[in-house]
Amino acid sequence: MKARLPLALLLLALVSCGERPDPKTPSATPYGSPEEVNAYLQVIDPLVMQLNTLHQELYNTVGSSGKATAANLAPAMEQGRPRLAQILAALDQATPPPLLAPFHQQIKKLVQLRLEAYAQALEGWKQEQQKGAGFENLYQRSEELLTQAQDLGIPLGDERQRIQQVLEAAKPPDQAASR
């Protein structure tokens, strides 16, 4: 029993010698340190903005008729594909904090769904132009993929908002008030 007491005191001394958190330093968040989360968001937010812009441009091509056709969507999708590929490449280069890796993977999945939807629609348009069969199935698959991407985007937007709220809450009171 006497041998355990010095070991316990040594462990207690080691634990108590650790650095004390500076009250002025922002605390960690459920997503990682505020610094690493902010650095990640500075990379990812412009990509998400590009993605949203591209999505809006696609739907603007539908026009006032409100009816999407392959004839009006195919040119927009053809122009959008390289931009989606660039966004995906940039996402592949970005390194999220470990706790934001699932969020990051979901953003990548959304881009991949849109890329595949564009490919399906463009292949359908090509087949339709060549009077081939089966183009309707390709269009239907494209619509399904776009719906999946849209359905994925809503919770991602909500999660992005939660991340921002957590960052705001982690700011020291003097920084939070200055905003």
Q: How far is CA 107 from CA 29, 47, 48, 63, 100, in A?
A: 20, 10, 8, 28, 11
Write the pLDDT tens digit of every residue in 13-70. Answer: 333 344 344 444 445 899 999 999 999 999 999 999 999 999 898 888 876 666 778 8
Classify residue 14: in a domain, yes or no. Answer: no
pTM of the model: 0.79
Q: Would you say residue 39 lies in a domain?
A: yes
71: containing domain: 34-170
What gap in Å lies between CA 134 and CA 33, rounded to an integer? 51
In a domain, 97, yes or no: yes
The count of domains in the chain is 1
Residue 179 included in any domain: no
